[in-house]
């Protein structure tokens, strides 16, 4: 069953990448439905803190002023890490992704894709691959003097490389 989930994840990421490359945006239904399903999957595995934290962070994004959002996110995240210490790394990843989205360093679709990955595969290695590919993509963009980089390419490529690594080293 795990391989089927991987295939579905990679196909979905590929579709999102195509949307991003073609239209420079990904429709909400293409990202929100998988985010909801990933939360349900995490709940079915007994992980209640990461999906609830994700929902809380998305809700907190509407709070005004911005300082209020940061304060609430900090408190909610601290409680999440305290209530389920085994998920502290996933909590940290979710909060970092939310913060990057909040400050405008990444788009909403990018953030939702990374949150789905964090809920399905709470391992830091996949995010390391995504960051490495993103860094390489950023260097290429700098060399080509491009200001905007479709980060979903790095998300898909990093997840794909992680899946290849997982097959060879059985870390997933």
**pLDDT tens-digit profile of 78-120?**
999 898 898 899 999 999 999 999 999 999 999 999 999 999 9
C-alpha distances (whole Å) from 166 to each of 51, 126, 128, 155 are 24, 10, 13, 16
Is residue 74's pLDDT more than 70? yes
**Which alpha helices (DSSP H) does the chain contain, by range?**
2-23, 28-44, 49-60, 66-83, 88-102, 108-120, 124-143, 152-169
pLDDT value of position 91: 93
What's the pTM?
0.92
pLDDT value of position 53: 95
1-26: b (≥16 Cβ within 10 Å) or e: eeeeebeebeebbeebbebbeeeeeb
C-alpha distances (whole Å) from 154 to each of 19, 23, 50, 59, 165 are 14, 17, 23, 27, 16
Sign of CA dihedral 42, 44, 45, 50: positive
Least confident of 39-43, 59-63, 91-95, 109-113: 59-63
Tokens representing 59?
């809700």
Distance CA 101, CA 127 (A): 16
C-alpha distances (whole Å) from 120 to each of 9, 36, 102, 155 are 9, 11, 22, 14
Q: How far is CA 151 from the centre of its chain?
A: 11
For residue 20, give the DSSP letter.
H
Distance CA 19, CA 25 (A): 6
pLDDT value of position 63: 85
């Amino acid at each position: 069953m795990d391989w089927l989930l991987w295939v579905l994840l990679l196909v979905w990421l590929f579709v999102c990448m195509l949307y991003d490359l073609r239209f420079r945006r990904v429709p909400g239904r293409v990202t929100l439905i998988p985010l909801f399903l990933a939360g349900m999957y995490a709940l079915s595995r007994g992980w209640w803190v990461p999906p609830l934290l994700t929902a809380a962070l998305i809700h907190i994004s509407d709070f005004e002023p911005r300082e209020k959002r940061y304060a609430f996110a900090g408190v909610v995240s601290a409680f999440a890490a305290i209530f389920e210490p085994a998920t502290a790394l996933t909590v940290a990843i979710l909060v970092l992704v939310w913060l990057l989205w909040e400050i405008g360093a990444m788009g909403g679709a990018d953030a939702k894709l990374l949150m789905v990955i964090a809920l399905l595969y709470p391992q830091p290695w996949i995010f390391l691959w995504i960051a490495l590919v993103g860094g390489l993509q950023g260097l290429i963009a700098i060399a080509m003097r491009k200001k905007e980089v479709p980060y979903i390419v790095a998300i898909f490529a990093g997840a794909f490389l992680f899946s290849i690594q997982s097959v060879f080293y059985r870390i997933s």
